[in-house]
């Protein structure tokens, strides 16, 4: 081919004939079987083949691909035409053969850039391959290439794969917006995406990305499950956390501190907390305990999946986490002990050990819940906690002490002697809307 190219540039009469030959032979790939014209003793292929082989297909492409850098306006268009019309097997042969020609043109070639932006119908995979070739081993893709690919994705091809080669040229908003679609791709491709985003491996270590590892992990947790199935998000977060050199203890601390403040609480938060504890057990000493306390303030029990993860984390971190259980409202403490009965005995021992401390918060009511003596019959407005059946019955029988469960902070004792002429003020009567215990209505 070197001799042919030398003649191509040195002779005025030969280029048209060489162009004609190149176009004729590459067009053979549009046929179902190799034409007999390409076989014969003079070509060194005496036997006629009845099916395409990769070697035979490459022979037909050789001259055309060699001339692409020298006359791109002619041969790039022809290449896309052949690609759109040939078989799947020959498409793969073309994709494996174009690297030298495309690299010779480079990312600044206006004809190649125009081809990328236009992306002829049926050539989407070919264009994606060209973009990959132009960005290979480049720390940052050429700005003009990034612009053309961005335009292509925005206005013509909604295949997110076109963005993968230029991820290092996108801004933070664009990268995070593409994540839900990127993580739904084939797992091999998703792995490559995270290698690029996280700078994993020698090929991507020198790339400059607009997002940090923390940005990526936080964004994954915030993906709307209506936009992307939860199973894809789970796989993606696990893929990230497997990269321990990237997601260090400090990085995960920053991520979890952000996630615990998100409203609503991300579905996978507790899963990630538990995975972080597996990677870095020291996080359980105080950091995760603090997170659990903050989740109580956010009423974590309102989210079934997160609540279950919360309790698993409590079980994993006991006895350190027992103090967190005591910060739950009485009703939720009762629920936690019902769901995790193995926590009852260690919590009882812990509560007994601190019960006499002034700020322990271990009231008789809490002890009743821990020991299982409280029944969920009535919840006062003041405490939000439980009152035992015996106490409720006693209150009904002795109205003199009704102020002990009233929502009014101070209620005078009502006289037991009532005259017909005098009615107690309405404000002093027990609240007729106050719910009665079961069996007392």
- The predicted-structure confidence for 156-172, as pLDDT tens digits, reads as follows 988 999 999 999 999 99
In sequence order, the β-bridge partners of residue 40 are 45
pTM of the entire predicted model: 0.78
Asked whether residue 10 carries a pLDDT value surpassing 60, the answer given is yes
Per-residue confidence (pLDDT) for residue 331, from 0 to 100 = 95
Per-residue confidence (pLDDT) for residue 13, from 0 to 100 = 67
At 356 the three-state DSSP class reads coil
Please give the angle made by the CA atoms of 26, 28 and 31, to the nearest 5 degrees. 140
Asked whether residue 358 carries a pLDDT value surpassing 70, the answer given is yes
Per-residue confidence (pLDDT) for residue 438, from 0 to 100 = 40
Q: What CA–CA distances, in Å, run from 99 to 94, 166, 225?
A: 10, 17, 39
Asked whether residue 138 carries a pLDDT value surpassing 80, the answer given is yes
DSSP 191-232: HHHHHHHHT-STTTTT---SS-HHHHHHHHHTS-TTTS-HHH
Domain coordinates in residue numbering, the chain:
1-105, 318-406
In sequence order, the β-bridge partners of residue 45 are 40
pLDDT one-digit tens code per residue, 30-83: 999 999 989 988 788 888 898 999 999 999 999 999 999 999 999 999 999 999
Quote the mean pLDDT of the chain.
86
Per-residue confidence (pLDDT) for residue 5, from 0 to 100 = 67
Per-residue confidence at 348, pLDDT binned at 50, 70, 90?
very high
First vs last Cα of the chain: how many Å apart?
A: 101
Per-residue confidence (pLDDT) for residue 15, from 0 to 100 = 84
pLDDT one-digit tens code per residue, 270-317: 999 999 999 999 999 899 999 999 999 999 999 999 999 999 999 999
Rounded Cα gap, residues 441 and 336, in angstroms: 30
Average pLDDT value for residue range 179-186: 97
Per-residue confidence at 413, pLDDT binned at 50, 70, 90?
very low
Asked whether residue 424 carries a pLDDT value surpassing 80, the answer given is no
Average pLDDT value for residue range 169-180: 97
Higher pLDDT, 157 or 269: 269
pLDDT one-digit tens code per residue, 390-412: 444 443 344 444 333 333 333 34
In sequence order, the β-bridge partners of residue 122 are none
């Amino acid at each position: 081919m070197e001799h042919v190219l030398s003649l191509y540039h040195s002779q005025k009469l030969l280029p048209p004939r060489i162009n004609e030959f190149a176009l004729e032979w590459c067009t053979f790939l549009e046929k179902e079987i190799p034409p007999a014209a390409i076989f014969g003793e003079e070509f060194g292929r005496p036997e006629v083949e009845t099916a395409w082989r990769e070697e035979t297909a490459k022979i037909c492409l050789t001259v055309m691909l060699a001339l692409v850098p020298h006359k791109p306006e002619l041969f790039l268009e022809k290449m896309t035409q052949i690609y759109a019309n040939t078989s799947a097997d020959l498409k793969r042969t073309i994709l494996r053969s174009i690297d030298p020609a495309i690299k010779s043109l480079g990312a600044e070639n206006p004809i190649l850039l125009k081809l990328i932006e236009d992306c002829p119908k049926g050539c989407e995979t070919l264009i994606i391959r060209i973009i990959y070739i132009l960005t290979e081993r480049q720390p940052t893709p050429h700005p003009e290439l990034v612009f053309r690919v961005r335009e292509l994705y925005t206005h013509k091809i909604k295949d997110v794969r076109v963005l993968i080669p230029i991820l290092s040229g996108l801004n933070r908003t664009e990268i995070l917006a593409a994540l839900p679609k990127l993580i739904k791709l084939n797992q091999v491709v998703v792995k490559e995406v995270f290698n690029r985003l996280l700078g994993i491996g020698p090929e991507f270590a020198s790339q400059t990305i607009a997002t940090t590892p923390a940005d990526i992990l936080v964004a994954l947790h915030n993906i709307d499950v209506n936009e992307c199935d939860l199973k894809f998000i789970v796989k993606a977060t696990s893929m990230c956390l497997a990269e321990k050199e990237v997601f260090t203890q400090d990085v995960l601390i920053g991520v979890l501190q952000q996630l615990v403040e998100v409203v609503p609480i991300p579905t996978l938060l507790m899963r990630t907390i538990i995975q972080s504890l597996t990677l870095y057990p020291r996080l359980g000493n105080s950091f995760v305990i603090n997170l659990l306390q903050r989740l109580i303030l956010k009423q974590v029990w309102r989210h079934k999946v997160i609540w279950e993860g919360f309790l698993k984390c409590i079980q994993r971190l006991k006895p350190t986490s027992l103090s967190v259980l005591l910060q739950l409202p009485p009703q939720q403490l009762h629920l936690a002990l019902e769901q995790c009965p193995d926590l009852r005995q260690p919590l009882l021992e812990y509560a007994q050990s601190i019960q006499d401390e002034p700020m322990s918060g271990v009231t008789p009511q809490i002890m009743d819940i821990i020991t299982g003596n409280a029944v969920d019959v009535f919840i006062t407005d003041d405490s939000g906690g439980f009152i035992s059946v015996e106490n409720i019955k006693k209150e009904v029988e002795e109205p003199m002490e009704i102020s002990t469960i009233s929502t009014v902070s101070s209620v005078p004792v009502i006289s037991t002697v009532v005259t017909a002429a005098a009615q107690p003020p309405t404000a002093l009567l027990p609240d007729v809307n106050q719910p009665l215990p079961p069996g007392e209505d």
